[in-house]
Structure 1
Amino acid sequence: MKPGNTQPSRPQSAKAACLMLALGILLLTVSSVLGESLSAQMTGIYGLHQTHKITAVRQEDAGPAGSGPLTLAEMGQLAQYYLNGHDLAYGTKVSATAVYGNNQSPVQVLGVNDRYRQFHTMNLMAGSFLTPGHENQQVAVIDEQLARSLFGSGNVTGLEIELFGRKFTIIGVAGEDNSLTGSLAAQETGTVYIPITKLLELQEGSAITFLEAETRDSGTTGYNTAFLEEALTAVGQDPGAFRITDYTMEFLLLNQKNHLRNFLAGVVVLGLLFNLFKKNVREIYDFLGSRLREKYWGEIFRKDGGRLFFGLVKAVLPLGGMLALWFLIRFPLYIAPENIPQELIDLSFWADLLENRLKASFQGGGSGAFPGEAHLHLLQGIQNWNLLLSLVLGWPLLGWGLHRLNIPLNTPEKGAWKMELFFCACLIMALLLGTGILLAAGMPLASDGKGIFLVFAAVFLAAVLKGASIKN
């Protein structure tokens, strides 16, 4: 068989390699864009205080061993004494039926105080939200879904709906959240916001089940949680009966996955820079070895000093790049104390940790989820999958594609140039596609410049090394 008979398989191999490269670049670039967008989304959905808040949600299974339901008197004590200077929102959630004329619809009724909107972003289509003056009035703010279900229109301020057998005047209409997380976390039923005082008065057996307090960045891990636990204990409540979530730490953990993804990308670039350093050192070694066979050191410095100096600069540059890159990608890693075992090999610890994680995910995403918790768990889940896909698919596809890609042996310079041009085109297309995905999903546009730079650096260095290996 002639060697030429094997040539027809090369185009197919090249196409497969290019496809893997394109998919790898696409996944890595979109992962960087999406990861930063998720962080921006988290700071944008929690109102004026963003993620500077801590929440306490009474566990449904607290039982009689708990310290009793939260009361308005205890909320007053918290606001006046133990959480003085910290914005405070509280309320509860019940199911009911909203009635207007012959139309009725099942709804989720949130009884809240006037500070609730400071902790949750609400796009009011019409009217206003609850104010301190509405505390003892039968007024309601409904969402757009309920407005269109009952009235067929969003312009319903001033009209009345019936809840718990009483008439409530609509003072505002909250628009729908059409973002990706908003759509996934949306309730099947409409939502009505009424003053917490009226809900406790009209709904027998109801009690305050959640509270939110503004926090300040203390720089100390666990400070906010300990502060809220002390406040709850001071008013006679058992902190163990509540699910406490520090959103400052949750944002840190969410954003930490972006840093981790960039760190791993940086490690890849560090490896490529080290290979480039070895290649340049080898070139200097071979150059000196060939010259020393015919010349002395002095003659080499006189006649080939410029070339030798240029080679040394080429060898030092990757080292400088490695040092600068390390300062770019390093970050303080936070691991919650409860996730650190006493012994590394402790199967029971890891099994319990996994079980607790699963329970927490079901509690946070179930029907008993406190407003905002569903968004939090969705953001965490998407970010986890985003990181996982970039690690198990993005980098392997890119590496395997580079390994399979062939550059024509007769024109290595032209082949390397074409490969770099192909990489740039893929990066630009991936950026455009990632931006389009965010726009279509209603997510904030927030690009991770560091992550995109690291992907570009990785593919560029890989192309340089690939071209050099073929040339040599």
Structure 2
Amino acid sequence: MRRIRLSSWIVFVGVLLLIAASGLSESFLAQWRDMSGPQSLAALSVNVDLAADPTGSARLTIREAEKLAERWERPITYSARTPAAVTGGDRSIEADVVGVGGRTGSFANLRMYRGSPIAAQSIEEYSRVTAISSRLADQLFRTRDVVGMTVQLLGATFKIVGVYEEPDTLLRRMTDNGKPDLLVPITTLIELDPAVQITTIELAAGPTAAVTGTDEVRKALAAIGKPPSRYKIVNYAAEQNWVDQKPKLLLATAGVTGLLLGVRLAWGRLKRTVAFMRRGLSTDDWPDVVRKGKSALAVDAAALIGLMACAFMLGMAVRHRFYIPDELVPDELIDWTFYRDKRLEWWQRQVGAMGYVASSGELVYDRVNVLVTRLATVGILIGLPLLGIGVREWAMGGLSTADRLIRLAACIGAAVAATAAACWWAGTEYVVRPQELFVFVSLFVLSALSARAVGRNGS
């Protein structure tokens, strides 16, 4: 009994890791898209690489940003960030101030609590208005209802036109909230502090951006007299394809495992049918053998048809054209120097990144990529093996088929509930896709049935 109980816990952990890895990954990806504004992830980010630009010559003026917008011919937004003391009510706080320009609303999803974000007209007119975070409003005024009040910043008075909320999510916590404390028109910020210049630009991606977007940005920068080598360019259109496929890889691994188990079960059924027919034909004619064993043959035929249908649906559910960036594909697969050079480039980027300050959007992308990669890895390398070990122990312990399926159903229900709770704790909605549930449930059931066959053959 103790062996069965331990096996059930092993199965539950395997089921939980697989369901949680898939569910949390898809939920984080959905939250990432939602945080990226109406433009979603069809965008490219350009940040001044401080390590490659110690003199600051790569930073842009407003005029240069406008020239880049004219050259790009699609929506762009640009920003500059500086720490500054902000005074409101009877308190003064050191805050993260960001000046924004261009089409800011297309690239960020600000959840307004009161009022409105910075308008394009305010940017054009050098207006002294600001939108502040709800956290900063609480710190300064001890209330969030501050629209119409004023704050003092950089020696000037700014009217508060909006308050935006910062949802308490895991991604926000991992990116130091990911949102600035206070937004102002970039024209006003630079007017008050001429030393501030633009360090971050986001550009709307074209239809072929995943392939050509990075080169197009480099050409646009060169066209306005800026050396592309001094900027960190992140192609979200391409990176989304790269990150999105990691949960698909987990799903494909689970689906292929289910397919192999289904083939194993089908082969066992087929061998049993062939053996039955051989025994019968040694003493009876073909019609007599079929008539005597019609019930067993019908069950085997139905099982084979069901397994074939399941295999077909699994194949349809997990098919995915995986994306591999062009820069990771050598001209010749046997060219070992290509892989050596890629490794050296990776290490060089780690060293160069020491002086690099990433934008909020890039920080969110980095955290999503890390989370999704680790979840998919845990599901493949730990979840699947534990499931296999657990169901085999069930078989070796002599657990009946009915008991296995009952325990399996309980494990699936508990795993879904635990994943939903984890998503709630992380501040994201649990994205439940019928495709993923079908693949995993099929894998679990086929694993249990396949273990039953192993147990029977081993006894």
TM-score by length of 2: 0.91
Indicate whether 1:54 and 2:44 are aligned: yes
> Counterparts of 1:31-430 in structure 2 under 5 Å?
31-63=21-53, 68-80=58-70, 82-84=71-73, 86-100=74-88, 102-113=90-101, 115-135=103-123, 136-187=126-177, 191-218=181-208, 221-297=210-286, 299-301=288-290, 304=293, 308=297, 311-341=300-330, 343=334, 345-346=336-337, 348-349=340-341, 351-352=343-344, 354-355=346-347, 358=350, 368-406=357-395, 415-430=400-415
CA distance in 1, matches of 2:262, 2:178: 53
1:155-190 deviations in Å (ceiling 9; x for gaps)? 112222121112111111111121211122235996
Distance 1:305 1:159, change over 3 A: closer
Distance apart, 1:390 and its partner CA: 0.8
Give the match for residue 467 of structure 1.
452
Distance 1:312 1:96, change over 3 A: same
CA distance in 1, matches of 2:351, 2:171: 21
Distance 1:163 1:408, change over 3 A: closer
Unaligned runs of at least 5 residues, structure 1: 1-10
43-52 vs 329-338, which moves further? 329-338
Distance apart, 1:93 and its partner CA: 0.8
Give the match for residue 6 of structure 1.
none
CA distance in 2, matches of 1:233, 1:423: 60
SS in 1 for 2:268: helix
Distance 1:64 1:107, change over 3 A: closer
Whether the 8 Å CA contact 2:255–2:314 is kept in 1: the answer is yes
SS in 2 for 1:206: coil
Q: What percentage of residue pairs aligned between the two structures are identical?
A: 23
> Which one-letter code corresponds to 1:369 in the other structure?
A
90-99 vs 313-322, which moves further? 313-322
CA distance in 2, matches of 1:387, 1:305: 46
Distance apart, 1:307 and its partner CA: 5.2
Distance 1:153 1:42, change over 3 A: same
CA distance in 2, matches of 1:210, 1:306: 72
CA distance in 2, matches of 1:316, 1:421: 24
312-321 vs 37-46, which moves further? 312-321
> Which one-letter code corresponds to 1:177 in the other structure?
P
SS in 2 for 1:174: strand
SS in 1 for 2:324: coil
Whether the 8 Å CA contact 1:111–1:199 is kept in 2: the answer is yes
Query: Alpha carbon RMSD of aligned pairs, Å?
Result: 2.6
CA distance in 1, matches of 2:89, 2:445: 67
Unaligned runs of at least 5 residues, structure 2: none
Number of equivalenced pairs: 452
CA distance in 2, matches of 1:404, 1:309: 30
Distance apart, 1:338 and its partner CA: 2.9
Whether the 8 Å CA contact 1:114–1:131 is kept in 2: the answer is no
Give the match for residue 3 of structure 1.
none
TM-score by length of 1: 0.88
